[in-house]
Amino acid sequence: MLRDLPLSGVVVVELSDSASAPFAGKILAELGAEVWKVERPSGDSARGWGPSTWKGSGAAFHALNRGKRCISVDIKDQDQLARLHRLIAERADVFIHNLRPGTSAKYGLDADSLRVTKPELVHCEIGAFGHVGPLRTQPGYDPLMQAFSGIMSLTGEEGQPPVRAGVSIIDFGSAMWAVIGVLSALYRRQEKHSGATVSGSLLETALAWMSIGIASYNADGHPGGRHGSGAVFIVPHRAYSTADGDLIVSCANDALFARLCAALGRPEWAADERFTTNQARLRNRAEIDRLIGERLAGESSAHWQELLQEHGIPVAPVQSVADVVAHEQTRELDIIGKPAGDELGVVGLPLSFDGKRPPPLHPAHDIGADNDQLDAALKPPA
């Protein structure tokens, strides 16, 4: 652990499974916190996720759980539960969990119970549908929230079945909000000398990602619709096929659109009343997309990328995972790290401090690998 990282000296106990709380714990570990990951004896569900595995566990588990001490606790066992309570009471600055609704209170791990004896504790819960409302007791996962929140109604191609984002944007987003809440509570604790109860949920995160769609609906009853790789509020702002691939081209204002037209050798498009403003282009989306698409189809992606970049047009190729891992820009950022003695490259913290990114975290440990360190971490019996 680097002593100059922002959370050096902060102790986090993370009772977690799957993705949301583990990702939050990983972020806190990357910021320098000492994180104790608590699993049930059979292990985190992500250990069994596939198809890719590494050293006997799903690659997903390794991506989400580096840099932590791993202990196994059967919270149904009174002795083991008591030791977990001791760990929180004696060591933890932060307790974070994503237990099923109602479970934390059943075992005395809810905020009301823990903060009675430790008022300075920052207690953070990542729920499913939220801590109030008729669905508060229901479990939930990322795709359920993409569906329930309306995200899937705006994702994919018009007239096609609904699709979800290919990555767990709700789980990871919920983790990020949790970390923001925890950091805010730790900051406030310095002045008020008391902790806080931080509550977030998958649904609330999904609704936050729907901010523009909900505002649009409330404004005129039209939240948008499905536009494939495009966006409801900007044209052009989507992928177009070239002679050998696909490019995302984005013109978020009229000046950029005029430069795009000049770069494509079609300056007259910028003067056409159908396309002069973004509002006009929104009304004539199909036609301008057709014209741009026909022009780009005649040359390679590399040709257009170089030309558009020369004109200051935001542009990027649609890459595979292999492409992005191998790309020079990714390598220069040095964000995919391999800890000493471990050859699995995973993405690190997407932040740098004073120009330096925190180093790669140590590999994820086996189930209960650090159980023997728990006794050393606790105060000896009186």
Tally the residues of the chain.
Answer: 382
How many other C-beta atoms can be found within 10 angstroms of the C-beta atom of residue 223? 18
How many other C-beta atoms can be found within 10 angstroms of the C-beta atom of residue 83? 17
Axis crossing angle, helix 301-310 with helix 254-263, rounded to the nearest 10:
130
DSSP string, 131-151: SSSTTTT----HHHHHHHTSG
3-state DSSP assignment of residue 239: strand
Give the separation between CA 166 and CA 101, rounded to whole angstroms: 27
Give the separation between CA 278 and CA 182, rounded to whole angstroms: 40
- Residue among 17, 93, 142, 171 flagged as catalytic: 171
Give the separation between CA 277 and CA 257, rounded to whole angstroms: 9
3-state DSSP assignment of residue 77: coil
Half-sphere exposure of 131 (CA within 13 A, CB side): 14
Q: Pull the structure tokens for residue 311.
A: 């004109």
What are the start-end ranges of the E strands in 60-180? 68-72, 94-97, 122-127
Instruction: Respond yes or no: is residue 4 known to be catalytic.
Output: no
3-state DSSP assignment of residue 217: helix
Which residues are annotated as catalytic? 171
